[in-house]
Structure 1
Amino acid sequence: MVTGGTGRLGRVLVPHLGEEGHRVRQMSRRGAGPGGVRGDLATGRDLRPALAGAEVVVHAASDPRGDPWEVDVAGTRRLVEAVDRSRLTHLVHVSIVGVDRVPLGYYRAKYAAEQVLLASGLPVTLVRITQFHGFVDELLGTARRGRLLPVPVGWRVRPVDVADAAGHLAGRVTAGPTGGVVEFSGPEELSVVDLARSWAAVRAPAARVVPTPVPGRLGAALREGGALPRRGDHGRRTWAEHLRG
Structure 2
Amino acid sequence: MSTILVTGGTGTLGRLVTERLRAQGHQARVLSRHAQPYAVDLRQGGPVLEAAVEGVDTVVHCASGPRGGDEEAAAHLIAAARRAGVGHLVHISIVGVDRVPFGYYRAKLAVERMVEESGLGWTVLRATQFHDLVATVLGSLAKLPVLLLPAGVSDQPVEASEVADRLAALATGAPAGRVEDLGGPEVRTFPELAHAYLAATGRRRRVVSVPLFGKAYRSFRAGGHLTPAHAVGTGTFEEYLTARTGSGADGGGLGGAAGRGR
Greater alpha carbon shift after TM alignment, 178-187 vs 225-234 = 225-234
Unaligned runs of 5+ in 1: none
Structure 2 partner of 1:2 = 6
Shift of 1:175: 2.9
Report if aligned partners of 2:56, 2:86 keep a CA contact under 8 Å in 1.
Answer: yes
Structure 2 partner of 1:200 = 198
Shift of 1:97: 1.0
Amino acid at match of 1:47: L
Within a 5 Å distance, the mapping from 1:44-63 to structure 2 comes to 44-45=45-46, 46-63=48-65
Report if aligned partners of 2:100, 2:225 keep a CA contact under 8 Å in 1.
Answer: yes
Amino acid at match of 1:49: A
Aligned pair partner of 1:16 in 6, 15, 20:
20
Using the size of structure 1 for normalisation, the TM-score is 0.91
Greater alpha carbon shift after TM alignment, 127-136 vs 179-188 = 179-188
Report if aligned partners of 1:156, 1:227 keep a CA contact under 8 Å in 2.
Answer: no
Find the aligned partners of 2:62 and 2:159 in 1 and give their Cα distance: 16
Aligned pair partner of 2:95 in 94, 97, 120:
97
Structure 1 partner of 2:218 = 220
Q: Secondary structure at the match of 2:195?
A: helix
Structure 2 partner of 1:133 = 131
Structure 1 partner of 2:168 = 170
Find the aligned partners of 1:189 and 1:168 in 2 and give their Cα distance: 20
Amino acid at match of 1:122: L
Find the aligned partners of 2:123 and 2:228 in 1 and give their Cα distance: 17
Residues 100 and 26 from structure 1, CA distance in 2 versus in 1: closer, same or farther, beyond 3 angstroms? same
Find the aligned partners of 1:237 and 1:17 in 2 and give their Cα distance: 21
Structure 1 partner of 2:253 = none
Amino acid at match of 2:116: L
Find the aligned partners of 1:151 and 1:204 in 2 and give their Cα distance: 19
Unaligned runs of 5+ in 2: 244-262
Aligned pair partner of 1:142 in 137, 140, 143:
140
Q: Secondary structure at the match of 2:25?
A: coil
Find the aligned partners of 2:202 and 2:160 in 1 and give their Cα distance: 23
Report if aligned partners of 2:183, 2:228 keep a CA contact under 8 Å in 1.
Answer: no
Aligned pair partner of 1:190 in 179, 188, 208:
188
Q: Secondary structure at the match of 1:164?
A: helix
Find the aligned partners of 1:219 and 1:173 in 2 and give their Cα distance: 34
Within a 5 Å distance, the mapping from 1:104-123 to structure 2 comes to 104-123=102-121
Find the aligned partners of 2:202 and 2:138 in 1 and give their Cα distance: 10
Q: Secondary structure at the match of 1:125?
A: strand
Is structure 2 residue 42 aligned with structure 1 residue 38?
A: no
Shift of 1:180: 2.3
Find the aligned partners of 2:115 and 2:54 in 1 and give their Cα distance: 19
Deviation above 3 Å: which 4+ runs of structure 1? 84-87, 230-233
Find the aligned partners of 2:41 and 2:147 in 1 and give their Cα distance: 38
Amino acid at match of 2:51: P
Using the size of structure 2 for normalisation, the TM-score is 0.85
Shift of 1:136: 0.7
